[in-house]
Amino acid sequence: MSVRLTTCLILVCCVPAVSAQRLSRGFAAHSLKALRMIEKETKGYELAPNDSALVPSGVGGALSDLGAKAQADKERAVVAVLHTVLDAKLSHNTTLSTLSHLATAALWDCADCSRGPSQVAAVVSRSSTTLAIHSKESACFQALESMLHSRNYHPVPECSKDSLEVPTPTKLTVQSN
């Protein structure tokens, strides 16, 4: 008799805590859609609804809609994570643009270097900053996507502001051909 009572207490005590962390299917699907929009975003900025910042066109609206649908704390936490990821993506896009300008300048400083767009792209793609950006974004997107697919909410440390931070270099050097 005490075994049955213990089992019932465990089920009553533990099941609500686990199910309370579940995201609804619709919310998870909309969150995945917003994540994919952020992941693909490289240009096309517009003013945010409060006119405070430039955000990628389409993504701002998707996050606003998602924020309006967020009812539970866990859903609001997902929206906050997506905003952090968007902020990091925008920062990374700016860093990559800066790297492109630095690569162009470095190639002009190099007497024996070719200076076409493909050479600039090659310098940028080999940069340790670019590799760090791609590595950090990939880890974040994979972890967040996995959490959203499972619909079991938990913090995603790979998507924290500190985890996604990549400093912007102020100078690049290139080797001559």
User: What interhelical angle do 59-69 and 25-40 show, nearest 10?
Assistant: 160
100 near 43, Cβ under 8 Å? no
User: What interhelical angle do 25-40 and 73-109 show, nearest 10?
Assistant: 10
List per-residue pLDDT tens for the chain, 177 residues long.
Answer: 444 544 444 433 443 443 457 999 999 999 999 999 999 876 544 444 555 555 556 787 888 889 899 999 999 999 999 999 999 998 999 899 999 999 988 888 887 778 788 888 889 999 999 999 999 999 999 999 999 999 999 999 999 999 999 999 998 887 766
158 burial (CB, 10 Å; 0-12 / 13-18 / 19+) is middle
The whole-model pTM stands at 0.77
